[in-house]
Amino acid sequence: MRKIIVAVFLSIFFIFSYGFAADKDVSEIVMKVEKIISLEDISADQVMTVYRKDGTIRSYEMKSLTSGKDKSFVELTAPPREKGRQVLRLGDVVWSYMPSVKRSIRVSGRGSFMGGDFENNDVLRLNLVGDYSSEIIEELPDQYVLALKGKDLSLSYAKIKLWVKKDDFQPVKQEYYTISDKLIKSTIYESIKDFNGFKRPSKLVMQSAMYPKQKTILEMKKFKIGIKNPSKRFRRSGLGK
């Protein structure tokens, strides 16, 4: 009888130990992915090309700066008609500055960024570890496939499916779903580049699931991480200056 009790106890112990280890491993994977595609303390020159469903194409050049995880600033530098337009995120609040009217207005984090497939939150905010619980749902020869479930209904995406390379934890693809499991859009990560010793995808392709011809490409031309950007860039009073 004693042997049976010991056997049962050990079985329960190993089950819980395995579960804890699995949770720890998947958390570490997500943390490594987030570090690679981090938007924390960066300075980046980017080009965004928007392919709309009506066949028109628009291209924008911009400078992105961040301070920690809660402050983000983007200024458009081209084309001329958009030059000087700025977007500022302070926590969950997003402000858009229009040089034509010389004033800033509050906009939704879920709003489209420059009419493309990226939302303001996609460009200005990233917190996979804090915003989502995660689990490994499939293991391919060279990749992990993770399911991420949002902890807050206010998030842009209720669920995310993430493909990650095993050898270096570079992200391969993300799919974004509603709470009812309807695919909204996906991101393909391409062109891994070495930015002064920091390797990350330099090209992101956001594809609409509803409109096959509609997509947005975001390319990193210059990228620096661990930058202490000027604090004045992260104040609403500094917009337009």
Residue predicted with more confidence, 22 or 111? 111
Q: How confident is the model at residue 39 (pLDDT cuts 50, 70, 90)?
A: confident
Q: Looking at residue 159, which CATH number applies to its domain?
A: 2.50.20.10
Q: Is residue 239 part of a domain?
A: no
Average pLDDT, integer, range 138-143: 96
pTM: 0.85
Say what the alpha-carbon torsion angle 214, 220, 224, 228 is, to the nearest 10 degrees.
-40
Q: How confident is the model at residue 93 (pLDDT cuts 50, 70, 90)?
A: very high
Tokens of 216: 């947005």
Q: Is residue 42 part of a domain?
A: yes
Q: Is residue 200 part of a domain?
A: yes
Q: Is residue 83 part of a domain?
A: no
Q: How many domains does the chain have?
A: 1
Q: Is residue 105 part of a domain?
A: no
pLDDT higher than threshold 70 for residue 206: yes
Residue-number span of the structural domain to which 163 is assigned: 34-65+110-227
pLDDT tens digits, residue range 177-193? 999 999 999 999 999 99
Say what the alpha-carbon torsion angle 65, 70, 76, 81 is, to the nearest 10 degrees.
-160
Q: Is residue 78 part of a domain?
A: no
Q: Is 94 left (phi over 0), alpha (psi -120 to 50) or beta?
A: beta
Q: Is residue 70 part of a domain?
A: no
pLDDT higher than threshold 70 for residue 145: yes
Q: Is residue 74 part of a domain?
A: no
d(CA 171, CA 149): 17
Mean confidence (pLDDT) of the chain: 88
